Amino acid sequence: MASSVTVACVVGTRPEAVKMAPVIRRLRRPGSGFKVIVLATGQHRELLDRALADFGLRSDDDLGLMRPGQDLATLTARCLEAIGGWLGRARPDLVVAQGDTTSVLSAAMASHCHRIPFAHVEAGLRSGDPAEPFPEESNRVLTARLADLHFAPTPWARDNLIREGIPASRVRVVGNPVIDALRWVERSAPPTPIPTPTAPGTARMILLTSHRRENQGAPLARICAAVRTLVARDRGLLVVFPVHPSPGVRAVVDRELGGIDRVARIDPVGYPDFVALMKASRLILSDSGGVQEEAPALGRPVLVLRDRTERPEAVSAGACRLVGTDPDRIVAEAEAILSGSVPPLAPISPFGDGRASDRIARALADWFGLPAEDPSSAIGEDTREPGEAAGLAA
């Protein structure tokens, strides 16, 4: 029986930091039996640091891998080499990473090379098309072949893994820790004013985010065209667009939306501010995976700016609609929601009940044979699957 387990939590991007933060905080709880090291790859340099700070965290070590103009193959090679070298020196008992980025796949490969167990958080999501999202879909499939433990957010994700030959004994349905993060912000962060200037006479707000690699260039220009039409037709509408720092995104957005009345292009905001923006919106347009998980829990409808999603649970629940990047379709669907012809969305949570990090911690403790925690330190812990605790479809 192990008395203490060293866990390396690898994070590279802002969404990874948001979703891993509840897991890191939970594993660091006194009496858990875990020593946690946060290793940052730095895929999103400033955004990553800010996201960790929003949860009172910082990285313990930083690989600083980003370089200007770096292509995907070069980043992957450098990431694998750097994480592999770090693991060879640190020799943790377990590596944990979340999601589908280059950092995650590289962490899984490096762990495999060093024969260190790897646990994958948010496992089993599939769109069925390696081109959408690219390269994230392939990253997930490859990571699944290397992981020792798979923390699936929903029964659907679990079933994907089992169909691919992953033993059911290595898969746990835990929910998505992004709901833990969302609820933590709602409990812990003071009310945040909307971090954008308001436009005179506007009564309704659309929140827009777009950064996916497959949407850059002409698809993003089509999304911007839809935004121009929406604000031209509705004088009471404000669109708020926190613009991703990627040069490929900013160049198109500045060209297509610069100087457009009632379109507020703002810098990326911290997670509490982003939650405030979601709550203040009447509608969200986004190609983000995280938004598809968070917005339904806040009762905000999402038009997904993609043709496919690896999160069909939100579409099945009626909280998200796939609209792609066709301007006419985006405008028609948005106007239907804004006009009230589509019934308001009640808060629903297809991706968990806010206790995913508890279930992950308990599963890892069982994996390593750690003694049970003192019950007095586990107030609110719930180790049931989300299907039991929140009534999610099995």
- The residue annotated as part of the active site, out of 50, 213, 228, 384, is 213
8 Å CB contact between 117 and 95: yes
Catalytic residue, chosen from 16, 122, 333, 382, is: 122
Instruction: State residue 233 phi and psi, 5-degree precision.
Output: -85, -25
CA distances from 331 to 227, 321, 369 (A): 8, 13, 55
HSE-up of residue 389 (Cα within 13 Å, Cβ side): 21
Q: Report the phi/psi class of residue 322: left, alpha or beta, with left for phi > 0 and alpha for psi in -120 to 50.
A: beta
Kindly list the averaged pLDDT for each block of 10 residues, start to end, along the chain of length 394: 84 94 97 96 81 94 85 93 97 97 97 98 96 94 98 98 97 98 87 62 85 85 96 94 88 93 92 92 94 95 95 94 96 94 85 96 95 53 41 32
Catalytic residue flag (residue 120): no
Q: Where are the domains of the chain?
A: 5-176+352-389, 204-338
Distances (CA, A) of 295 to 4, 270, 292: 37, 16, 6
Question: What residues have CB less than 8 Å from 226, skipping those under 6 apart?
Answer: 285, 327, 328, 330, 331, 334
- Looking at residue 118, its pLDDT comes to 98
122 is annotated as an active-site residue: yes
| Greatest CA separation for the chain | 66
Helix or strand holding residue 222 (H, E) = helix 218-233
Q: How much is the pLDDT for 47?
A: 82
3-state helix, strand, coil in the chain (%, to 5): 45, 15, 40
Question: What pLDDT, on a 0 to 100 scale, did the predictor assign at position 312?
Answer: 95
Residues whose CB is less than 8 angstroms from the CB of residue 306 and which lie 6 or more positions away in sequence, other chains included = 132, 133, 212, 214, 215, 287, 322, 324
Give residues with Cβ within 8 angstroms of 209, minimum separation 6: 241, 242, 244, 284, 285, 286, 287, 288, 291
- Residue 226 and residue 330 in contact, taking contact as beta carbons nearer than 8 Å: yes
User: Which tokens hold the place of 364?
Assistant: 């890892």
Nearest residue to 102 (alpha-carbon basis) of 194, 16, 3, 201: 16
Task: State both tokens at 223.
Answer: 């999304």
Contact 149, 124 (CB under 8 A): no
3 state SS for 237-269: EEEEEECCCCHHHHHHHHHHHCCCCCEEEECCC
DSSP annotation string for 185-200: HHHHSPP---SSPPPT
The 8-class DSSP code of residue 149 comes to E
CA–CA dist 205, 225 (Å, integer): 17
CATH number for the domain whose boundaries are 204-338: 3.40.50.2000
Please confirm, yes or no, whether 311 is among the known catalytic residues. Answer: no
Task: Please report the sign of the dihedral spanned by the C-alpha atoms of residue 378, residue 383, residue 388, residue 392.
Answer: positive
Q: Which is catalytic among the residues 49, 54, 100, 294?
A: 100
The 10 Å Cβ neighbour count of residue 192 is: 17
Please tell me the predicted confidence (pLDDT) of residue 382.
40
Of 342, 335, 354, nearest in space to 297 by CA: 354
Q: Which H/E stretch holds residue 119?
A: strand 118-121
Is 244 a catalytic site residue? yes
164 SS3 class: coil
Q: Which fold is adopted by the domain 5-176+352-389?
A: Rossmann fold (3.40.50)
Q: Which of 54, 136, 273, 293 is catalytic?
A: 136
pLDDT (0 to 100) of residue 18: 96
Please tell me the predicted confidence (pLDDT) of residue 234.
94
Question: Is 213 assigned a catalytic role?
Answer: yes
